[in-house]
Chain A
Amino acid sequence: KAGVTQTPRYLIKTRGQQVTLSCSPISGHRSVSWYQQTPGQGLQFLFEYFSETQRNKGNFPGRFSGRQFSNSRSEMNVSTLELGDSALYLCASSIGQGGEKLFFGSGTQLSVL
């Protein structure tokens, strides 16, 4: 069974630009969550999607948004990039029942210059 796939693996952007990251969950998994990892803040929860609906949200500004498609694939968008958005963005998938283990992808390393 294929794992969680994230693309692209690396991304370099400049301040003010926007970026879209993609995530394909494990087959059969309907929940996709997004996390940001930075050296100072550790792993922080961004949001979770289930059946194309955002079901849970972390404490991030509105510049961070996402969506989920009918095939459970998800995209995350960050608009008006700031230097502090440089981070490893991780996608995780699960069946979606709550209180269960998440399976993570390898992440997208975003650098904002």
Chain B
Amino acid sequence: DQQVKQNSPSLSVQEGRISILNCDYTNSMFDYFLWYKKYPAEGPTFLISISSIKDKNEDGRFTVFLNKSAKHLSLHIVPSQPGDSAVYFCAASRGNAGGTSYGKLTFGQGTILTVHP
């Protein structure tokens, strides 16, 4: 039962254009969502997060949008740079709802982003 899904295994974008990475979830108990960036043989690096009480959060070139009714979130990177090429993971957790999932993030399968110069 995959509770967090990233349906696009890969995405290719031209430098300077927008990258949009998508993520869907099924568990309505999730109330905190995160995006991580990962290079091979390294640990994931935190990018940006959003609480379920918000529908948008921005940090520089990165913006995360949350649509709770559709159980969908997306990460926008504008403008995309070659250094953004990596695997991007969407993750979700239960924070203050009943049954806090301490330390447990449920990850999607990841999307490989390639930004071409």
By a beta-carbon cutoff of 8 Å, the part of chain A in contact with chain B is 4, 6, 31-33, 42-43, 45, 48-50, 55-56, 58, 88, 90, 92, 94, 96, 98-107, 109
* Partner among A33, A98, A104 whose Cβ is within 8 Å of the Cβ of B44: A104
Q: Closest A-chain residue to B91, C-beta based?
A: A43
* B43–A104 touching, CB < 8 Å: yes
> In the docked arrangement, what's the CA distance between A107 and B42, Å?
6
Give the A-B contact count at a CB cut-off of 8 A. 79
The B contact surface, by secondary structure, is loop
B34-49 near A? 1/0 per residue, CB < 8 Å: 1010000111111001
21 examples of A-B residue contacts, CB within 8 angstroms: A4-B43, A6-B43, A31-B103, A42-B89, A42-B109, A48-B103, A50-B102, A55-B102, A55-B103, A56-B101, A90-B43, A94-B103, A98-B101, A99-B93, A99-B95, A99-B96, A100-B32, A101-B34, A102-B105, A106-B43, A107-B42
* A33–B103 touching, CB < 8 Å: yes
